[in-house]
Amino acid sequence: MEFGNTINMVEDLAYVGENLDTRREILAAIRRLPVDAKRFALDRCTFTSVGHDIVGMTLPGRIGVHSAERRSRNVWIIVVLDQELGEEFQTTIAHEIAHAWLGHDRCGELPDDCEEQAAKLAKSWGFTGHGADEEKARARDREATQ
Ligand SMILES: [Zn+2]
């Protein structure tokens, strides 16, 4: 099956939150991904943001379970801060999808260069800005391993 133009992205996106601008920006970022990463982001990632007027949010555990498989293996929850719309925000979203794509588990073992890997992948997908800047990412990796 060819997913390229047949994905109904608006319906397929799992976004748990109240900010429609953020939801739109997540969709815009996913639209720019290569087809396999696009499918991954829609199938395996649940996105959430806390919003502008609240500082906390309680979410049900089921958002970490695949809707069809009922399992949590290779399911990722991507939390973003509601930000100003634009390239920098879309790059942040792509950068976080890249972490998931690469299997970077914050609760498990992380490669020392995980930030650089994610930035590199986001850049290869055509994103620009902070989250796709390998140099800055390398510096963050160095700070984290000290
Ligand atoms: Zn990162």
Quick check: helix, strand or coil at residue 61? helix
At 1, the pLDDT band (50, 70, 90 cuts) reads: very low
Q: How far does the centroid of ligand 1 lie from the alpha carbon of residue 112, in Å?
A: 12
Half-sphere exposure of 36 (CA within 13 A, CB side): 4
Q: How far does the centroid of ligand 1 lie from the alpha carbon of residue 118, in Å?
A: 6
Q: How far does the centroid of ligand 1 lie from the alpha carbon of residue 3, in Å?
A: 27
Quick check: helix, strand or coil at residue 14? strand
What pTM did the predictor assign?
0.90
What's the rounded mean pLDDT across residues 50-61? 81
Q: Structure tokens of 8?
A: 């109904």
Q: What number of other Cβ atoms are within 10 A of residue 81's Cβ? A: 11
* Highest mean pLDDT (candidates 4-13, 50-59, 66-75): 66-75
Q: Which residues are near ligand 1, the ion (C-beta closer than 5 Å)?
A: 115, 118
